[in-house]
């Protein structure tokens, strides 16, 4: 039943999932549930809840940006945790190169095990802190689209994600309704980090999903070399106008 619902919902978003993709979501659910008994991956439990609040929510971005916008682009999911939204997007886009960034070792172990079982060669996992990896030539300003779903508050997330996004690329934040007021205090910060607000897309919630607001930021110029600041500083002293 939930797979049929996911198929129908994705189709409404412009995504036609085939049987192999639906099977991957099913396997994803079972492996996530099994690992969640050993390590804390998500507080959400039950097949329907995980399908709706993780899988469906990850694909919700297609209500804000068309499917064609994301095709043939490289993705980075910063602070991916249980793999959201990067892994569901990896199932939808088998031709896209997708990198999942996670700092916690046990979650990295889960993600590597999951990828082995899902057979998604287009998706890779990197262990490390955003503050460190964003300063390397391998990762700095290398990605077309950078995602953040449950990383931190917006001021912190901005500093930890925008340095990864290439000029001309896009950074997308999955946020709740409180973010609208937050954004009004961050125009100078966004500009400082090389970004410009493209759009805030508000999606109404329902009995299965909370209200979701996507903060979509275009990368217009290079992020100054001093950002992100060293590990722990963005959390202690967030950049706020």
Query: 175, 165, 119, 114: which is closest to 144 by C-alpha?
Result: 165
Give the residue ranges of the chain where pLDDT is below 50: none
CATH number of 67-236: 3.40.50.150
pLDDT at res. 36: 93
pLDDT at res. 207: 67
- DSSP classification of residue 46: S
pLDDT at res. 209: 67
How close are the terminal C-alpha atoms of the chain, in Å? 48
Q: Given the DSSP bridges, would you call strands 98-102 and 143-148 parallel, antiparallel or unpaired?
A: unpaired
Question: CA dihedral defined by 44, 47, 52, 54, rounded to 10 degrees?
Answer: 50
Q: What share of the chain is helix, strand, coil (3-state, %, to 5)?
A: 40, 20, 40
Burial class (CB in 10 A: 0-12, 13-18, 19+), 127: middle
Instruction: Tell me the torsion sign for CA atoms 113, 73, 68, 194.
Output: positive
């Amino acid at each position: 039943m939930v797979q049929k619902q996911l198929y129908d919902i994705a189709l409404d978003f412009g995504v036609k999932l085939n049987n192999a993709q639906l099977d991957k979501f099913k396997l994803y659910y079972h492996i996530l549930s099994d690992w969640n008994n050993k390590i804390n991956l998500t507080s959400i439990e039950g097949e329907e809840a995980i399908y709706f609040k993780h899988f469906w929510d990850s694909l919700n971005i297609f209500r804000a940006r068309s499917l064609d916008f994301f095709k043939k682009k490289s993705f980075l999911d910063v602070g991916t945790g249980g793999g959201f939204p990067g892994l569901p997007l990896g199932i939808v886009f088998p031709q896209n190169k997708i990198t999942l960034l996670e700092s916690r070792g046990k979650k990295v172990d889960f993600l590597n095990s999951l990828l082995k079982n899902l057979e998604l060669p287009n998706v890779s996992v990197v262990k490390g802190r955003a503050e460190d990896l964003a300063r390397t030539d391998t990762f700095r300003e290398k990605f077309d689209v950078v995602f953040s779903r449950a990383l931190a508050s917006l001021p912190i997330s901005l500093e930890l994600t925008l340095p990864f996004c290439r000029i001309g690329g896009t950074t997308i934040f999955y946020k709740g309704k409180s973010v609208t007021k937050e954004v009004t205090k961050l125009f100078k910060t966004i500009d400082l980090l090389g970004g410009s607000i493209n759009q805030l897309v508000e999606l109404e919630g329902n009995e299965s999903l909370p209200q979701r607001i996507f903060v979509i930021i275009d990368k217009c110029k290079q992020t100054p070399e001093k950002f992100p600041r060293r590990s722990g500083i963005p959390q202690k002293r967030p950049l706020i106008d």
